[in-house]
């Protein structure tokens, strides 16, 4: 089992819809979780971090964390074509000194 | 602030050649990282430096060496390039290990 897994893409949603991106992780002691966005040909950039169970909202983005289920998700409300990118889930691993990235989910928002 | 810079942006090597990828950050970060990104594989950690003077292996260190030259600079060396090292290489830094990472623009390397 990979340490961090994401729902396979590509994911396509119409403009204005809610995009839901999911991530599961294998290490029960993980405490810190991140979502990065990567446009084609560019480098990853941080969207959100979340450390506690529950929801964290930032504009159109909501991160949800459930440590009991070892699950973290990212919801994008009112999706825009500019949200079309690959979204990387990242988790701080057991050794606490490095971040482990999932394979990414490609999102396409159709106008 | 330039953030994280990487040179070169593109490079083509022949099998067996050597080269060094350069990375520098101007954010006074303690920790620096080298990743490679291949289609369908996500970002894989090659080496990292939690603080100046220390380096540690990541998930895929074979065929690479690193040097943390000072707090700002962290270089990645390929001693004898192989086609399997064809990839996009990203350098990243964070204030401390681990924390939010800031990425450079990447180096696209092709080994023939």
* Residue A97, pLDDT score: 66
pLDDT of chain A, 111 residues: tens digit per residue: 668 999 877 999 999 999 999 999 988 888 889 999 999 999 999 999 999 999 999 999 999 999 999 999 999 999 999 999 999 999 987 665 678 899 999 999 999
SS (H, E, C) A39-78: CCCCCCEEEEEECCCEEEEECCEEEEEECCCCEEEEEECC
- The rounded distance, in Å, linking the Cα atoms of A55 and A73 is 9
**Residue A30 is inside which H or E element, if any?**
none
**Cβ contacts (< 8 Å) between A49 and chain B: which residues?**
100
A102–B50 C-beta distance less than 8 A: no
Q: Which residue has the higher pLDDT, B40 or B90?
A: B90
A97–B50 C-beta distance less than 8 A: yes
Q: Which residue of A has its CA nearest to B48?
A: A98
For B17-72, write each residue's pLDDT tens digit. Answer: 999 999 999 999 999 999 999 987 789 999 999 888 899 998 899 999 999 989 99
* Residue B62, pLDDT score: 96
Q: Which residue of B has its CA nearest to A101?
A: B43
């Amino acid at each position: 089992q990979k340490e961090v897994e994401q729902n396979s893409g590509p994911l396509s949603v119409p403009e204005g819809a809610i995009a839901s991106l999911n991530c599961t992780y294998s290490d029960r002691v993980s405490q810190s979780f991140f979502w990065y966005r990567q446009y084609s040909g560019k480098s990853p950039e941080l969207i959100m971090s979340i450390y506690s169970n529950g929801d964290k909202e930032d504009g159109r983005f909501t991160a949800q964390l459930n440590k009991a289920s070892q699950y973290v998700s990212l919801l994008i409300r009112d999706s825009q074509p500019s949200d079309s990118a690959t979204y990387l889930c990242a988790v701080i691993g057991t050794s606490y000194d490095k971040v482990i990235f999932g394979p990414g989910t490609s999102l396409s928002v159709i106008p | 602030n330039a953030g994280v810079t990487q040179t070169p942006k593109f490079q083509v090597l022949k099998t067996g050649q050597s080269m060094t990828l350069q990375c520098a950050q101007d954010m006074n970060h303690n920790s620096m990282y080298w990743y490679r990104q291949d289609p369908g594989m996500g970002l894989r950690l090659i080496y990292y430096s939690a603080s100046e003077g220390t380096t540690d292996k990541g998930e895929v260190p074979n065929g690479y060496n690193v040097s943390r030259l000072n707090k700002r600079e962290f270089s990645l060396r390929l001693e004898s390039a192989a086609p399997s090292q064809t990839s996009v290489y990203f350098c990243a830094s964070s204030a401390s290990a681990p924390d939010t990472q800031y990425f450079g623009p990447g180096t696209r390397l092709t080994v023939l």
